[in-house]
Amino acid sequence: MKYQELFPLPDEWIQESDRSMAETVSSWAEQEVIARRLEHKEDYDALLLPAMRKLMVDIGLQAMIMPEAAGGGGMDAPEAAMAAAAVIEEVGAADTSIGFLFANTLAIEYALAVAPKRSEESLKQAAPLLCGGDVTICSLVLPAYGTDMADRPRYYGLDYPATAKKGKDGWVINGGPARPQCCGATADLFAVVCDTGKGKPGLLLVKGDAKGLKRGEELKKTGLAASRNADVTLDKVKVPADALVLEGIEPLRAMLSWYYMACAAACTGALKTTHGILKEWGDTRVIKGKGQVFKENPLVASLMGEIGSKTGTCRVLTYNLARLLSRPDAYGSAGSGTMHVTAVSALKQVGHLSMEAMHNTMELMASAGYATEWNLERYWRDVKTVQTYVLPETVAQTCMARQYFNLEQL
pLDDT in tens, 109-152: 999 999 988 888 889 989 999 998 899 999 999 998 765 555 66
CA distances 102 to 51, 87, 109, 136, 319, Å, are 12, 10, 10, 10, 17
φ, ψ of residue 4 to 5 degrees: the values are -65, -30
CA distances 407 to 17, 203, 254, 267, 354, Å, are 43, 26, 21, 30, 29
Amino acid 143: pLDDT: 92
pLDDT in tens, 377-398: 999 999 999 998 898 888 888 8
Over residues 347-375, mean pLDDT:
86
Identify the residue with better confidence: 39 or 206: 206
Euclidean distance between CA atoms 124 and 240, whole angstroms: 12
Amino acid 192: pLDDT: 97
Amino acid 286: pLDDT: 75
Identify the residue with better confidence: 60 or 371: 60
pLDDT in tens, 229-259: 999 999 999 999 888 899 999 999 999 999 9
Amino acid 32: pLDDT: 94
- Which band of pLDDT confidence, cut at 50, 70 and 90, is reported for residue 371? low
Over residues 95-105, mean pLDDT:
97
Candidates 95, 79, 7, 78; CA nearest to 44 is 95
With a pLDDT cut of 90, the percent of the chain lying above it is 68
Identify the residue with better confidence: 40 or 408: 40
Over residues 1-6, mean pLDDT:
75
The residues near 397 (Cβ < 8 Å, ≥ 6 apart) are: none
Instruction: For residue 30, give the 3-state DSSP assignment.
Output: helix
pLDDT in tens, 254-295: 999 999 999 999 999 999 999 999 998 888 877 766 667 777
Over residues 206-212, mean pLDDT:
95
Amino acid 13: pLDDT: 87
Least confident stretch, 86-95, 244-253, 290-299, 317-326: 290-299
DSSP secondary structure code for residue 79 in this structure: T
Check pLDDT > 60 for residue 165: yes
Amino acid 62: pLDDT: 95
Domains of the chain, CATH where assigned: 3-135 (1.10.540.10), 141-247 (2.40.110.10), 249-404 (1.20.140.10)
Check pLDDT > 80 for residue 199: no
- The residues pairing with 202 across neighbouring beta strands, listed in sequence order, are 194, 247
CA 265 vs. chain centroid, Å, equals 8
Amino acid 147: pLDDT: 56
Euclidean distance between CA atoms 37 and 43, whole angstroms: 9
- Provide the mean pLDDT of the chain: 90
Query: Positive or negative, the Cα torsion across 89, 34, 285, 361?
Result: negative
Least confident stretch, 38-52, 255-269, 346-360: 38-52
Pairing of strands 138-141, 154-155: unpaired
CA 227 vs. chain centroid, Å, equals 12
Euclidean distance between CA atoms 203 and 107, whole angstroms: 12
Over residues 29-47, mean pLDDT:
90
Euclidean distance between CA atoms 189 and 207, whole angstroms: 5
The residues near 10 (Cβ < 8 Å, ≥ 6 apart) are: 319, 323
- The residues pairing with 322 across neighbouring beta strands, listed in sequence order, are none
Amino acid 148: pLDDT: 54
- Which band of pLDDT confidence, cut at 50, 70 and 90, is reported for residue 11? confident
Helices marked H in 285-375: 298-326, 328-331, 337-365, 367-370
- Which band of pLDDT confidence, cut at 50, 70 and 90, is reported for residue 179? very high
Euclidean distance between CA atoms 180 and 157, whole angstroms: 18
Most confident listed range (199-208, 311-320, 393-402): 311-320
Least confident stretch, 295-309, 365-379, 383-397: 365-379
Amino acid 151: pLDDT: 60
Amino acid 84: pLDDT: 96
Quick check: 112 and 67 in contact, CB under 8 A?
Answer: no
Amino acid 342: pLDDT: 97
